[in-house]
Amino acid sequence: SCRREASWGSSASRKGTMGERPAYLQLKRKARVEETREMDSKISHIQFGMFGAAEIARAAEFEVVENRFYAPSEQRQTTRTPIEYGVLDRRLGVSDKQSTCATCGMKMQDCPGHFAFISLELPVFHIGYMKKTVAVLQCICKVCSRVLLPLAERSKILRALHHPMTRGDAVRLSAVQRKVLDKCKKMRECPHCGERNGLVKKVGFAHIVHERFKEKDSKGRAVHERATF
């Protein structure tokens, strides 16, 4: 009997505490909402891109100007020393457990790794962008650089691209882009400047060719006028 009363009394006290808790939680929740509202912000957009030459140079530790891997040594050694300003420079990180990184001073398991840059003498195509580059060249005039679509058709495509359902759906967006590409491929004259435009395609490993004219001569042989990008 005593145990029951004690138990009942404790439950009653808990019940009273529970009755007071909602008001406290409500005030606490309101304070959190107001605090969150002060820090609330909205991301308008996210833009992805590639570093330019100046940005790469600023972010890199150094420029690679040495084509040798290891420093020359007159004596035969079991461990060779990576040469400075080479691709194995210790400022880029280390590959053995005993050495430390010359940039951050950490061991191999803790160093995140650092990078340098190499200045190229000639432009190099990024193979990952080759397909997209060809698609863009197929959609624009090679003289005035405008999209190969009449103004009315262009406005219609822009409305479709800016539609909320299209912007939030990758499948719809891809379908609109494919539609633009198919229409531009069929255009042989620019609707804006009237210049002749032909087929653009990749030839070989890294050549893009514009076949402005593709007709036949009197003997039935194909005659091409090509411009290589």
Q: Residue 207: pLDDT above 70?
A: yes
| HSE, side-chain direction, 13 A CA sphere, residue 94 | 19
The 3-state DSSP class for residue 227 equals: strand
Give the global pTM. 0.51
On the question of pLDDT at 129 being above 60, the answer is yes
Is residue 73 within 8 A of residue 81, CB to CB? The reply is yes
Q: Which pLDDT tens digit goes with each residue over 109-127? A: 999 999 999 998 888 878 8
Identity (one letter) of the amino acid at 117? F
pLDDT tens digits, 61-78: 999 999 999 988 766 666
Does residue 81 have a pLDDT over 60?
yes
Q: What is the pLDDT of residue 124?
A: 80
Domain boundaries defined on the chain: 51-119, 127-228
Q: What is the pLDDT of residue 14?
A: 44
What is residue 222's predicted lDDT score, i.e. its pLDDT? 52
DSSP-derived secondary structure letter, 81: P
Provide the pairing of β-strand 222-228 with 199-203. Answer: unpaired
Between the alpha carbon of residue 227 and those of residues 137, 198, 201, 209, the distances in Å are 12, 10, 11, 6
